[in-house]
Amino acid sequence: MKKKIKVRDKEFDIFIPAADIDRKVGRIAESINTDLKGKVPLFLVVLNGAFMFAADLMKKIDLENNISFVKLSSYTGTRSSQVVNELIGLTEVVKGRTVIIVEDIIDTGLTMQRMLEILHEQEVAEVRIAALIFKPGAFRANYKIDYIGMEIPNDFILGYGLDYDGFGRNLPDIYKISE
Ligand code: 5GP
Per-residue pLDDT of the chain in tens (179 residues, 90 and over written 9): 999 999 999 999 999 999 999 999 999 999 999 999 999 999 999 999 999 999 999 999 999 999 999 998 554 455 555 555 678 888 899 999 999 999 999 999 988 998 999 999 999 999 999 999 999 999 999 999 999 999 999 999 999 999 999 999 999 999 999 98
Which domain covers residue 121, as residue numbers?
19-150
Atom of ligand 1 nearest to the CA of 72: 10
Q: Are 145 and 106 in contact (CB under 8 A)?
A: yes
Q: Is residue 102 part of a domain?
A: yes
Identify the active-site residue in 13, 35, 62, 107. 107
Residue 111 domain-assigned (yes or no): yes
What is the Cα–Cα distance from 179 to 159, expressed in whole angstroms? Answer: 17
Q: Is residue 27 part of a domain?
A: yes
Q: Are 151 and 135 in contact (CB under 8 A)?
A: yes
Helices and strands in the chain: count of H runs, count of E runs = 3, 9
In a domain, 176, yes or no: no
Does residue 100 belong to any structural domain of this protein?
yes
Note the pLDDT of residue 85: 66
> Could you tell me the CATH number of the domain that includes residue 142?
3.40.50.2020
Residue 105: the pLDDT is 98
Distance CA 145, CA 17 (A): 23
Residue 56 lies inside a defined structural domain of this protein: yes
pLDDT at 72: 81
Peptide bond just before 85 cis, omega within 30 deg: no
On whether residue 158 sits in a domain, the answer given is no
Look up 107 and say whether it is catalytic.
yes
Domain count within the chain = 1
49 lines ligand 1 (CB under 6 A): yes
Residue 31 in domain: yes
CA of 12 to the centre of ligand 1 (A): 16
Calculate how far, in angstroms, residue 38's C-alpha sits from the geometric centre of ligand 1: 33
Q: Is 0.95 topped by the overall pTM?
A: no
